[in-house]
Chains A and B, each alone.
Chain A
Amino acid sequence: MGLDDLLNLFVAAILLAGIYTAMSIGMTVIYGVMKMVNLAHAGFMMLGAYFALEMSQRLPIDPLITSVLAAPVFFLLGIATHRGMVRFVPVADEPTLPSLLLLFGLWLVLQNFGYAVWGADDRSIFTPLTMATFRFGGIVVPVIRLIVFGIALLSLVALHLSLQHTWFGRSVRALTQNREAGQLAGIDTGRTAMLAFGLGIAFTGLAGALLANLYSFTPDFGGSFMLRSFVITVLGGLESFSGVAIGAVIVALIETFSILVVPANYQHAISFILLVVVLLVLPGGIEGLLQRWRRLR
């Protein structure tokens, strides 16, 4: 492979990392505040994909713009889900069986809801942008992937700003670091958890809607993305938003470049080997490593 090929691979990996970050951040927000592994993640991603499809068929505007509408809609859906069921799960400092079972059950319900409403047919969104590319020297950049990457990046910046500069963001960070200390400082944990769940689902729905512009989908959509999100979240350090972004870049780079040394049919296994290695060697993930490095300095 020549230099152009390697550069193309690098660009593909970075664009993939943007998608991975967008789909993993929702899981991290929910885990950070509520210590729940959102096993319904794939279900909400699937709903996000169908939301984008329905909107694109009903509104005479670009599906990428309608995809962005998924964020506020899924925020409300997340709030409703929290009010309706998640808030009844006992609060804990680590994932509990009831929360896992509840969210797994919710995934199955959402999946079956998808089959009931949309059937099992493969659906997709196709626009003039779907196949458009532009060339930069020998590098070919798919326009749709670049736009999806840009939207994912913008939403991350928005999340970062809201976490840094709003009362809600400070509450989220406080509860992520130490729930009891946050409570002592007067944070309304119930309200913050509800908003954080809504925010997590908003990101998940947005990611699903964006992915609908790249992939075909059925109500089964999202399963393999959820497993990757889990790997990235663990790699990032479970509660760290910057760790998730770095984790997504690492997973995307390893998956993409592994083809040079490992047969392509082991590509899926690589993420999970990485997960096992991280759990054994680096249980705190990238964030833990960064903290250790900061302490040493």
Chain B
Amino acid sequence: MKDTGIREHGGSHRPAARTAIACIVVGSLALLGPWGSGIAAAQSAGCPDAIRIGMVFPMTGREGRPGTYQVEGIRLAMELINAKGGVYVKECGKRLPFKEILYDDQSDQGRTVQLVERTMSSDNVVAVIGAYSSSLGQAQSVVPDRYQVPWISPGAGASPIYNQGRKWIFGVLAPVELLGYTTMKFLGSLVDQGKLEKGLKIAIVVENTDHGKEYVEGVNRWVKENPGAFKVVYNESFQMGGTDFSGILQRMKAANADIFLSDAHLQDYITMHRQYTQMGLRHRMVSYGARGTEEPARKALGPAADYIFAGIWWHKDLPYPQVKAFVQEHKKKYQREPDSYYPSTAYDAVRILAAAIESAGSLDRTSIRNALHKVRLTDSLLPGQTLQFQENGQAMTPFVIVQNKPGDKVDFVYPEDSRTGEVVTRIPR
């Protein structure tokens, strides 16, 4: 009995030990299970099949056309990158293709915020490219810091968006203030060359948005720095989407200015310049800020669009090989050449994001954000060929000045080293 007892005990001890060991092993496995599967999940989340990019643009509504063109630029860049296998992500040890998650905000400020929140919170995106126009960009820009997702705008240029101390926002467009300043620098260079007289009077009519305000700031900064060169005699703003500008133009006429500078979106530019011409107004030089060369405007205005000059972020005739390649690829994919800067900045937004992901070697959003602050795209399509974000997240590429010429021609007229034609400083009657 004793033996039996001992055996029983011993017998009972060994199975108990085995049971205990088994329990420990099973328990450990059970404990390790979620951890192990957690590791697997983390790897799977870290190295998905594709790099998901949220895109929120106005595809319809007031800004539908530029928004659509920007989406086309993004898609072209993604397609070309994906054709090479995608972006190399070091922590995954392989190339991953881009995958778009696109939303149309219908040019609506409220809707655009909702959609950016949605894609940042629910779509598992590593970054968001969004917003054409400064007003939609302003609305979207409050969201990225909340969700800590890098956000790149290829179409919002107003610097107040980037000067709020936000850490997760980036903009490919140089500040609109620089546009106003460059426009004046160009006019100043014409005074230096004796093509314009000193002391000419300037009338300014801009849209009452951050875009317009900043343009005026740039003009005023240059005028202040160069006293006596020009005199601003009229400065008025208007509400976007105007149907009648006769009052504002009549008052401008009374100011008797020599040069007319405006900053307007495409539809307002067309409406205003039609009325301007119909009212028989004449100035020596006319500009609508960054507008002027767009094909719909030239169709809508006919010869009245000739000699308008514009400060632009990009033009398809920039003499860089990468621009030529881009224009060819664009034509191949969409059966037309780009007629505005819209697809080019969007294209570069994808390329600089790809460069940042490669530099980060990871799909971790913070690493990508940090890399975006450091990377330089040295074959950028934009003037100067180098795209880099400043500390506030906004790019600072230079503007070039172009002037429409008869026969749908466009000449680069400033800076001097990129000049392709003579500037006309007195619009012929």
Contact = CB atoms under 8 A, between A and B. Distances in A.
Interface of A: 1-2, 5, 8-9, 12-13, 16, 111-112, 115, 119-124, 126, 130-131, 133, 135, 140, 142, 144-145, 214-216, 218-220, 224-225, 228, 255-260, 263-268
A227 B401 CA distance: 38
B52 to A, nearest CB: 26
Interface string B251-289: 101100000000000110011001101111000000000
Interface in B190-225: 208
Given A126-B302, A131-B304, A220-B107, A258 B274 contact: no
A43 B141 CA distance: 32
B266 to A, nearest CB: 6
Given A121-B65, A268-B242, 14 more contacts: A8-B250, A9-B250, A12-B250, A115-B60, A120-B61, A123-B296, A126-B299, A131-B274, A140-B280, A219-B60, A258-B247, A260-B251, A264-B239, A267-B239
Contacts of B296: 121-124, 216
B60 A12 contact: no
Nearest to A225: B243
B243 A215 contact: yes
A257 B247 contact: yes
Contacts of B277: 131
Contacts of B68: 119-120
Interface string B219-246: 0000000000000000011110111101
Interface string B289-301: 0000000110111
B270 A218 contact: no
Top 9 nearest A-B pairs (CB, nearest first) are A120-B64, A259-B247, A142-B278, A124-B300, A12-B246, A122-B296, A265-B208, A216-B270, A140-B280
B160 to A, nearest CB: 18
B42 interface: no
B62 A220 contact: yes
Nearest to A266: B239
B65 A8 contact: no
A130 B299 CA distance: 12
A264 B243 contact: no
Given A255-B244, A263-B237, A267-B242, A120 B60 contact: yes
B353 interface: no
Residue with the highest number of chain B CB atoms closer than 10 Å, among A8, A13, A111, A255 = A8
Contacts of A1: 250-251, 254
Nearest to A126: B302
Contacts of A111: 60
B156 interface: no
Given A123-B296, A126-B302, A218-B64, A265 B250 contact: no
Contacts of B237: 263-265
A135 B59 CA distance: 43
A55 B301 CA distance: 20
B271 A216 contact: yes
A2 to B, nearest CB: 7
Residue with the highest number of chain A CB atoms closer than 10 Å, among B60, B248, B266, B270 = B60
Contacts of A266: 239
A263 B236 contact: yes
Contact of A8 (B59, B241, B242, B279): B279
Contacts of B62: 218, 220
B46 to A, nearest CB: 38
Interface in B61-86: 61-62, 64-65, 67-68
Nearest to A135: B280
Contact of B254 (A5, A12, A119, A215): A5
Contacts of B67: 120
A130 B302 contact: yes
Contacts of A215: 243, 267, 270-271, 274
13 contacts: A2-B254, A12-B244, A12-B247, A119-B68, A120-B61, A122-B296, A126-B301, A142-B279, A214-B274, A219-B60, A255-B244, A264-B237, A267-B242
Nearest to A115: B60
A9 B275 CA distance: 12
Given A5-B253, A130-B302, A216-B270, A120 B280 contact: no
Given A133-B280, A135-B280, A122 B247 contact: no
A61 to B, nearest CB: 19
Nearest to A125: B300
Nearest to B279: A140
A259 B248 contact: yes
B65 A220 contact: no
B45 to A, nearest CB: 36
A60 B253 CA distance: 37
A216 B300 contact: yes
Contacts of B266: 122, 216
Contacts of B299: 124, 126
A5 B281 CA distance: 12
A263 B208 CA distance: 11
Contacts of A259: 247-248, 250-251
B274 A130 contact: yes
B238 A267 contact: yes
Given A131-B302, A215-B271, A268 B254 contact: no
